[in-house]
Amino acid sequence: MTFRFFLVSIILNLPLATPVIFIDLSHTFDPSIPFFPTQVRFNFTQRIVQLMNEKNKFFYATNAFTTSEHMGTHIDAPYHFSPTGWKVDEIPLSHLVFVHARIVDVSKQCSQDRNYLITIDDVKNSNLSVPESDAETGEKFSFVLIFYTGWTKYWPDQTMYAGDKSDLHFPGLSEQLATYLVNTYGDRFVGAGIDTLSTDYGQSKTYVVHQILARHNKYGLENLALTDNLVNSVQTKFFPLDVYPMKIGNGTGAPCRIVARLNNPKRISK
Ligand SMILES: *[C@@H]1O[C@H](CO)[C@@H](O)[C@H](O)[C@H]1NC(C)=O
Ligand SMILES: *[C@@H]1O[C@H](CO)[C@@H](O)[C@H](O)[C@H]1NC(C)=O
Ligand SMILES: *[C@@H]1O[C@H](CO)[C@@H](O)[C@H](O)[C@H]1NC(C)=O
């Protein structure tokens, strides 16, 4: 807020806007980030040219990359596991931008079992209460449920984060929980997020959670960058979330920038 706006606010007795801070829930892409063994890894080629032509001297840099859609912090479009599900460019912006997000902290359970399957009781014990409609807009209350396993702290160590390439270990949602979420919250539930490689746990062979979410046109957010500070700050409150996937035609998923907007900056520090 500028000083001038501050003065105008006082003179006109306008409410002072609450400062909003943005928390980046995305990891930075680089070729060494953890990967799912079946996916094409992020490869990055850097090209920097100093044009020394006497007349037009300027700096020029350009890069190229190749990657699976499912690398780094990314979205799984429903089409990833359902032929009739939305492709990434078809997911409505109302499901991505300024949606409500809520974190369920299962880091304690996961610290005791790296193959932990998150249960219905974990969600019930978090006192999740989802309104029918948005109090401000009157529209349907669209929300993303994010699971904090604590795995973010292992990033970018492939072995700690994912386990052995042929024997993956990390927590995920249980099949029962996925079914419970789609049945209990219907249209209001738009997607599930997690700070591991996958919404299905590492030992999964059938990706049943992906199948259930996709069949109900829900998306997944994987490899979220979460912190204890964020989790402690928002506790069991909803907060606004923005998810910006690259708009890939026919995409089964895409790298994303994912940002939380918080208005109580005093309690957050990096
Ligand atoms: C990455 O891209 C470069 C340039 O195209 C290529 O030479 C290299 O083999 C690639 N590396 C991998 C691991 O694919
Ligand atoms: C849920 O509510 C109960 C009863 O008010 C409380 O004891 C418990 O700590 C709450 N759980 C969370 C995760 O906030
Ligand atoms: C999607 O795939 C279909 C079938 O292969 C193709 O006809 C269409 O042009 C593709 N769309 C985009 C945006 O790539």
Tokens of 157: 């160590």
Q: What is the mean pLDDT of residues 146-152?
A: 98
Per-residue pLDDT, 51: 77
pLDDT for residue 56: 75
Confidence of residue 60 (pLDDT cuts 50, 70, 90): confident
Share of the chain above pLDDT 70, in %: 91
Which residue's CA is the closest to the ligand 2 atom numbered 12? 126
Domain count, the chain: 1
Indicate whether residue 247 lines ligand 3 (CB < 6 A).
no
Q: Is residue 57 part of a domain?
A: no
In a domain, 238, yes or no: yes
Asked if residue 85 is part of any domain, the answer here is: yes
> Distance from the CA of 78 to the center of ligand 3, in angstroms?
17
Flag whether 114 is in a domain. yes
Classify residue 62: in a domain, yes or no. no
Q: What percent of the chain stands above pLDDT 90?
A: 84
Instruction: Give residue 263's pLDDT band: very low, low, confident or very high (50, 70, 90).
Output: confident
For residue 231, pLDDT beyond 60: yes
Query: To the nearest whole number, what is the mean pLDDT of the chain?
Result: 92
- Flag whether 252 is in a domain: yes
pLDDT of residue 3 exceeding 60: no
Q: Which atom of ligand 2 is nearest to the CA of 127?
A: 1
Q: Is residue 155 part of a domain?
A: yes
Give the mean model confidence (pLDDT) for residues 208-225.
Answer: 98
Q: What value does the mean pLDDT take over residues 113-129?
A: 98
CA of 235 to the centre of ligand 2 (A): 10
Mean pLDDT throughout 5-21? 61
Give the mean pLDDT of 55-59: 80
Radius of gyration for the chain, computed over Cα atoms and rounded to the nearest angstrom: 21
Cα-to-centroid distance, 257 and ligand 2 (Å):
32
Taking residues 201-218, report their average pLDDT: 98
Mean pLDDT in residue range 98-103? 97
pLDDT at 212: 98
At 167, the pLDDT band (50, 70, 90 cuts) reads very high
Q: Which domain, by its residues, includes 35?
A: 18-40+69-267
pLDDT of residue 1: 46
Higher pLDDT, 145 or 5: 145
pLDDT value at residue 270: 40
For residue 212, being part of any structural domain is answered with yes
Q: CA nearest 212: which of 198, 223, 200?
A: 200
- What does the pLDDT average to over 147-156? 98
Neighbour-count burial of 136, counting CB atoms closer than 10 A to its CB (0-12 exposed, 13-18 middle, 19+ buried): exposed
Q: By mean pLDDT, which of 44-58, 162-176, 235-249 is the weakest? A: 44-58
Closest ligand to residue 108's CA? 2
Q: How far is the CA of 249 from the centre of ligand 3 (A)?
A: 7
Mean pLDDT value across residues 248-261: 98
Res. 266 pLDDT band, cuts 50 70 90: low
Rounded to an integer, the average pLDDT of 128-155 is: 96
Q: Return the CATH number at 125.
A: 3.50.30.50
Residue scoring higher pLDDT (149 or 14): 149
